Amino acid sequence: MSSKKIVVHSENTTQHTQNTSQESFGYKNYSIAREAFTLFVGSWNVGGVTPPDDLELEELLDFQNCRADIYVLGFQEIVPLKAGNVLGIDDTNTCSKWNALIGVALNTRRVTKGVIDASEAGEIQRIYPMKTANSTAPDFQCLISKQMVGVFITVWVRKELHGYIRHPSFSCVGCGIFGYLGNKEEKGDERQRNIDAANILSRTLFPAESIQDLPRKILDHEGVVWFGDLNYRIHLPDTTIRSLVARKEWGTLLQNDQVAKYACRRPCLGGWHEDEIEFAPTYKYNQNSDDYYVSDHRLKAKKRRAPAWCDRIIWFGKGLKQIWYARGESRLSDHRPIRAIFMVGNEFTGTKKEPGDPMSNGFVDIPNHFT
């Protein structure tokens, strides 16, 4: 089997996770194999706000449009970025609370509209047996999660796939002051953001595997997703940006966006892709409001917080096909969450496992390029 993997990278200071999938499908009374599985990637800077107990994540997870096979969620600023939190022990209670809310949301059965499905991407759709009314077994299980100061990444997979995912691991690279404090750059600090991106790509090194020769650098992998509060801005005056946002002239704004116009053409992010943005800038909002924050006019221009697409999902490599890119509308923080859905390709060869095989669970083994 190939030793290639998928890497999913979430940033604010920065953090990586890689996960691999060896998929197989085919149930006892019927068998259906599919060329791709669905990968949901979501990112949200929650601005140091602890999630309330009754926070509903259905809108963030976009169940009305799609039920994915793998959910990768990255949060930034899950704790306030003050010295005690940055230099002290990580607050695992907040991570546990987010994971508990995600688990409840993913494992509550719902009827979806099915607006997005694999057939739209030219793929064969997977069929799962219906869950009985008295079944209490979870549909999704947490594969792995990791916190680095205010950054938290968590990966959830369908229980049918859990046993087929191999070698999940993390590599953490700190950016900013002392490698801990992150970079709250101002509007003109595109150069520093590019330096951070280059450092992440060059310094990230995944743990060596003694048994398999697996990729250790980010760009050695076949498919990579990079997401988070990348903190890039729009290179226009504050008043011009606000006027264009009010008129929903996204195209003009994107012509001056630091990612679309500059970063993806520089060596640090050359060759990376981003789906077309057709939604409003995700930052900066007034708390619990649909109104953008208005900076004090007495502040220097570069210290003002004009609307921007700070939160992004970009990808690199082959075997990935993005079919959805949107933002959520939760008012919990001064950022709006974003999400993307990918089809991830597989290769078909394999034979049906014997029913007694403990790893079969009625599946057919399908090796793929990402394992």
Q: Which tens digits make up the pLDDT trace of 42-60?
A: 999 999 999 999 999 998 9
pLDDT beyond 60 at 272: yes
62 or 370: which carries more pLDDT confidence?
62
- Residue 129: is its pLDDT beyond 80? no
Distance CA(365)–CA(371), nearest Å, equals 12
Query: Is the pLDDT confidence value at 179 over 50?
Result: yes
**Residue 264 forms part of a structural domain:** no
Cα distances (Å, whole numbers) of residue 205 to 173, 183, 227, 265, 297: 9, 22, 18, 24, 44
pLDDT value for 368: 33
pLDDT for 236 beyond 90 = yes
Of 149 and 137, the structure prediction assigns the larger pLDDT to 149
The label of the residue with tokens 């990278």 reads 9
Distance CA 366, CA 1 (A): 10
The count of domains in the chain is 1
Predicted structure pTM score: 0.78
Does residue 106 belong to any structural domain of this protein? yes
Cα gap 50→333, rounded to integer Å:
10
- pLDDT band per the 50, 70, 90 thresholds, residue 19: very low
The mean per-residue pLDDT over the stretch 108-113 comes to: 62
Local confidence band at 127 (pLDDT 50, 70, 90 cut-offs): very low
Tell the residue number behind the tokens 């209670």, with chain if given.
Answer: 93
Average pLDDT over every residue of 139-146: 94
CA distance linking residue 71 with residue 75, whole number of Å: 13
Q: What DSSP designation does 360 have? A: T
pLDDT, residue 77, reads: 94
More confident residue, 168 or 352: 168
Mean pLDDT of 323-337: 96
* Parallel, antiparallel or unpaired: strands 311-317 and 70-76: unpaired
Q: CA-based angle 308:314:315, to the nearest 5? A: 175
The domain in which residue 72 lies consists of 7-232+308-345
Do the domain assignments include residue 322? yes
Residue 248 lies in a domain: no
d(CA 204, CA 165): 22
At residue 225, the pLDDT reads 96
In a domain, 286, yes or no: no
Which CATH number does the domain housing residue 104 bear? 3.60.10.10
Lateral strand order in the sheet of 311-317: 169-171, 15-19, 6-11, 223-229, 311-317
CB-based burial label for 303 (10 Å; 0-12, 13-18, 19+): exposed
Query: If pLDDT is split at 50, 70 and 90, which confidence band does 25 have?
Result: very low
pLDDT at 87: 58
Is the pLDDT confidence value at 141 over 70? yes
- Using pLDDT thresholds of 50, 70 and 90, give the confidence band for residue 74: very high
357 within a domain of the structure (yes/no)? no
Q: Quick check: is 77 in a domain?
A: yes
DSSP secondary-structure letter at 118?
G
Cis amide prior to 284 (ω within 30 degrees): yes
- 120-129, 279-288, 296-305: range with lowest mean pLDDT: 120-129
How high does pLDDT run on average in the chain?
Answer: 76
Does any domain span residue 204? yes
